[in-house]
Structures are given as structure tokens and as C-alpha cells.
Structure 1
Amino acid sequence: MNIGRYLELGGKALWQRCQRELGMPEDYIERRGFSTFTAEHHLTYHSELLEGDDVSVRVRLVARSAKVLHAVCLIVDETNRRLACTMETTAVHMDMTERRPVDFPDDVAALIDAGLAADDRPWPAPLCGAMGVRRR
């Protein structure tokens, strides 16, 4: 697979989680005037995926600040039962009218916090160490 396919798999999985579980449904821009912009991606390749391999993606929330969500997508080669790629992302919550970063609304922040708690694991997330959420 090429880089575009890994980005597509991870990006789609993260956006679906935002829509389904984190209070940012398909009409989030239209209804509330907000969205998220990706600020940074980091891909790490662990093993090769080949055409025909069964693939799944698991999204693990890592951290958040008032305006930024940090997540890692685990792209799994289900055929060979191994981690193929990690796609780490920071997404900035944006006011689409003013085109500037704004705090997550309280209801969305609460859902993200619940997701962070649910994703807390006894093993560390496979992070690159070069990116994250800045807290001021």
C-alpha cells in the first residue's frame, strides 16, 4: 500500500469515531459551525500490507487540551495478525466562520474525556514522541 491509503484508512477511522462517539456528527459544521483541522500526522510503518490482506483500524485517544485532540490509529494486518502502521494525529477544533481555533464545546469535551478514560490501557500507546498536545 502507498502512503495515501494508510492516511485514508487512519483519517477515515478517526473521523468516524469523532462523528459517532465524540459529539461531532456529519452536520457538525452546518449545525454548530465547528469542525477539526488536522495539524500534524506522523506515520510509522511496522510491517508491510499487501493487496488482499484483511485490515482493521483501531483509534486510541491519547490526550486533549481545550482546543486540540491527540489520537493514534492502529492499522492492523488482520491476515497476519500484526501491527502494520501507526498514524498519530493532532486535530485542532476550529470555528468555521472565523477560521480560528476555539475550545471544544462542553458536551464534546465531556465525550472526548469519556473516550480518553475508555481508551486508557495498561500498556503505552505506540507514539512517535515528536508530537502531542501543548498545554498553556
Structure 2
Amino acid sequence: MNIGRYMELGGTALWQRCRHELGMSDDYIELRGFSTFTAEHHLTYHAELLEGDDVSVRVRLVARSDKVMHVVCLIVDETHRRLACTMETTAVHVDMTTRRPTPFPDDVTALIDAAIAADDRPWPAPLSGAMGVRRR
């Protein structure tokens, strides 16, 4: 697979989780005037995926600030039962009128916090160390 396909798999899985579990439905822009913009991606390749391999993606929320969430997408080669790629992302919450970063609404913050807690595992997320959420 080429880089575009890995980005598509991770990006689609992240968007689905935002839509279905984090309160940012398809009409989030229209009804609330907000969206998220990707600020940074970092891909790490662990094993090659080949045509015909069965693939799944697990989205793990790692951290957040008032305006940014840090996520890692685990792209798994189910055929060979191994991690194929990690796509680490920071997504900034944006007011679509001003096109500037803005805090997540309280209801979305609660959902993100619940997801971070639910995604916490006894093993550390495979992060690059090159990015994350800045704390003030």
C-alpha cells in the first residue's frame, strides 16, 4: 500500500469515531459552526500490508487540551496478526466563521474525556514522541 491508503484508513477511522462517539456528527458544522482541522500527522510503518490482507483500524484517544486532541490510529494487519502502521494525529477544534482555534464545547469535551479514559490501556500507546498536546 502507498502512503495515501494508510492516510485514508486512519483518517476515515478517526472521522467515524468523531461522528459517532465524540459528538461531532455530520451536521456539526451546519448546526454548531465548528469542525476539526488536522494540525499534524506522523506515520510509522511497522510491517508491510499487501493487496488482499485483511485490515482493521483502532482509534485510541491519547490526550486533549481545551482546543486540541491527540489521537493514534493503529492500522492492524489482521491476516498476519500484527501492527502494520501507526498514524498519530493532532486535531484542532476550529470555529468555522473565524477559521481560528476555539475550545471544544462542554458536551464534546465530556465525550472526549470519557473516550480517553476508556482507551487507556495498561500498555502505552505507540507514540512517535515527535508531537502531542501543548499544555500551558
> What range is the shorter-chain TM-score in?
over 0.9
Structure 2: stretches of 5+ with no match in the other structure? none
For 1:42 and 1:70, the matched residues in 2 are separated by: 11
Scaled by the length of structure 2, the TM-score of the pair is: 1.00
One-letter amino acid matched to 2:21: E
Partner of 2:131: 131
In the TM superposition, what is the alpha-carbon distance from 1:31 to its structure 2 partner? 0.6
For 2:61 and 2:26, the matched residues in 1 are separated by: 20
For 2:57 and 2:22, the matched residues in 1 are separated by: 17
Scaled by the length of structure 1, the TM-score of the pair is: 1.00
In the TM superposition, what is the alpha-carbon distance from 1:121 to its structure 2 partner? 0.5
For 2:48 and 2:8, the matched residues in 1 are separated by: 16
Instruction: Tell me the secondary structure at the aligned position of residue 134 of structure 1.
Output: coil
In the TM superposition, what is the alpha-carbon distance from 1:135 to its structure 2 partner? 1.1
One-letter amino acid matched to 2:11: G
Identity %: 85
How do residues 19-34 of structure 1 correspond to structure 2 at under 5 angstroms?
A: 19-34=19-34
In the TM superposition, what is the alpha-carbon distance from 1:59 to its structure 2 partner? 0.2
How do residues 76-91 of structure 1 correspond to structure 2 at under 5 angstroms?
A: 76-91=76-91
Partner of 2:3: 3
Partner of 1:17: 17
One-letter amino acid matched to 2:71: A
